[in-house]
C-alpha cells in the first residue's frame, strides 16, 4: 500500500473522494481500505446505487467512511451527484467502485493540481478490464 508524501498530506485534507458502488460486494471493502491507506486524511464518501447484493452492508463495516445509499438503482451519474452534494471539501475526486482506478495515483494528481494552474486534473484507465463494448 502507498501513502501520500508529506507535501500532499495537507492537500489530501482538503479533498473529498467520491466512490459510487453498484453490486460490488466482492470489491467494496478492499477498494475503500486502499483509498484510506493512500489518502488517510481525505473525506471518503461511498454511495451505494441500490445494490442488490451485500455492498451496502459491507460499506458500513469500513470506518471513517461517509456512507449514503439509494433504495433502488438510480445510475452512476445519480450516485456521483449525491456524493458531490454530500462533499464538504473544496477538491472532489471521483473514482469507480469496481477497483480499476488505483487510489495510489491520487497523491500525484493532487500534487499536479497544486503545482499547476489547472482547475481540473483527469486520469484514465490505461489497461481497462472491461469488455470491448464498454471500452
74 in a structural domain: yes
123 in a structural domain: no
CATH number at residue 53: 3.90.550.10
pLDDT at 4 > cutoff 50? no
Q: In the chain, what is the straight-line distance between the N-terminal and C-terminal CA atoms, in Å?
A: 28
38 in a structural domain: yes
The count of domains in the chain is: 1
> pLDDT value at position 32?
98
Adjacent-strand bridge partners of 67: 46
Rounded CA separation 79/96 (Å): 11
96 in a structural domain: yes
54 in a structural domain: yes
61 in a structural domain: yes
pLDDT at 5 > cutoff 70? no
Per residue in 75-134, pLDDT tens?
Answer: 999 999 999 999 999 999 999 999 888 999 998 888 888 888 888 888 776 765 656 555
Rounded CA separation 84/108 (Å): 22
Check residues 5 and 53 and name the one with the higher pLDDT: 53
127 in a structural domain: no
107 in a structural domain: yes
pLDDT at 6 > cutoff 50? no
Per residue in 100-114, pLDDT tens?
Answer: 889 999 988 888 888
- Show the domain range for 103: 14-115
What contacts 47, CB < 8 A, 6 or more positions away? 18, 19, 20, 21, 67, 68, 69, 70, 79, 80, 82, 83
Per residue in 35-76, pLDDT tens?
Answer: 999 999 999 999 999 999 999 999 999 999 999 999 999 999
Label residue 1 by pLDDT band (50, 70, 90): very low
Amino acid at each position: 500500500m502507498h501513502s501520500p508524501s508529506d507535501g500532499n498530506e495537507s492537500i489530501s485534507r482538503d479533498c473529498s473522494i467520491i466512490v459510487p458502488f453498484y453490486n460490488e460486494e466482492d470489491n467494496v471493502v478492499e477498494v475503500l481500505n486502499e483509498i484510506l491507506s493512500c489518502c488517510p486524511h481525505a473525506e471518503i464518501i461511498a454511495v451505494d446505487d441500490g445494490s442488490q447484493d451485500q455492498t451496502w452492508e459491507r460499506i458500513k463495516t469500513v470506518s471513517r467512511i461517509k456512507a449514503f445509499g439509494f433504495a433502488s438503482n438510480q445510475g452512476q451519474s445519480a450516485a456521483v451527484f449525491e456524493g458531490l452534494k454530500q462533499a464538504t471539501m473544496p477538491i472532489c475526486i471521483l473514482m469507480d467502485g469496481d477497483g480499476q482506478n488505483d487510489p495510489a495515483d491520487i497523491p500525484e494528481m493532487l500534487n499536479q493540481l497544486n503545482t499547476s494552474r489547472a482547475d481540473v486534473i483527469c486520469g484514465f484507465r490505461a489497461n481497462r478490464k472491461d469488455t470491448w463494448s464498454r471500452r
